[in-house]
A and B are shown apart, each in its own frame.
Chain A
Amino acid sequence: MKIMVVDDSRAMRGIILRTLRHAGFGNHDIVEASNGAEALRMIETGPPDLVLCDWNMPEMSGIDLLRALNQKGRKGMKFGFVTSEGTPDIEKLANENGAAFLLTKPFTADTLKTALAGVA
């Protein structure tokens, strides 16, 4: 399985990668992008099975990336948010656009594992 981690913070991408390993997903193919625009370019050349994406990012936000992917047709690609924006209005917007889950930072290996249970 190919997992794409999209976050403008290198520190946070590192935390997500470490937590993925601790949650038992270390043997998957994991790629990184630093914002939605970069992720979109990478997805066009090699789409992942799952995108784990931040909400607030420069150039292109997470919700704008999800909308762009929806317009192109995601063809089974799963999409989840890993964000500090865990309010009900953000969660509603994520759900309305077809996100599989919204995991709020800070998170643990257990909460990440639970979020990924239905998609990975």
Chain B
Amino acid sequence: MTRLVDAWLEAALDSLSEVATTTLGIEAPNVIERMRRVPRGMEGALIPIVHDQSMQIGIFTTAAGSAIVARALLCMEPEEELSTMEIADAIGEIANIVAGGAKKRMSEMQGIKLGLPIYFRGDIEQGDNFDVSSVILDVMGHPYEVMVLSRGEGHST
């Protein structure tokens, strides 16, 4: 049996590759490292996954990394200034599409609902009794982390 967070992470990575090559028009990102910890000191967006087991999918990066993606989505030139709201909107939408694609790929789990994106900067406290699976990716030379966080350890068949 596969850990639930690992199954969701693989679904999210597959979904992210599709988003990269279609919506963003870039190459599918390479996985640099796999981890069992939450990102620290980055900015990004979390999508709540509402099911029997409470989970979240998150995408995080540096300020420069989020600006690259926001400019790509908003068709802005490198010298154009971005507001925090524009960055939050762009990163939130990417996380939303990735989570939607992951949900579709995890179709054996019925009755899943996705929440609206939550944008934040800073550290996540993992807490006790949380299971996490995450990766560091290279997106156009910038580090991106994709994370699935779950309360309790579940398994996928």
Contact = CB atoms under 8 A, between A and B. Distances in A.
Q: Decide if the interface of chain B is mainly helix, strand, loop or mixed.
A: helix
B17 to A, nearest CB: 11
A15 B101 CA distance: 18
Contacts of A15: 23, 73
B103 A11 contact: no
Nearest to A84: B100
A85 B93 contact: no
A98 to B, nearest CB: 22
A15 B90 CA distance: 11
User: Which label, helix, strand, loop or mixed, suits the secondary structure of the A interface?
Assistant: loop
Contacts of A84: 96-97, 99-101, 114
Chain B interface size range: 20 to 34
Interface stretch (A25-33, A42-50, A63-71, A100-108): A100-108
Interface of A: 8-12, 14-15, 18, 56-58, 83-89, 104-108
Given A11-B89, A88-B107, A108-B22, 8 more contacts: A14-B73, A56-B116, A85-B103, A85-B114, A86-B104, A106-B18, A106-B97, A106-B101
Interface of B: 18-19, 22-23, 70, 73-75, 86, 89-90, 92-93, 96-97, 99-101, 103-104, 107, 110-112, 114-116
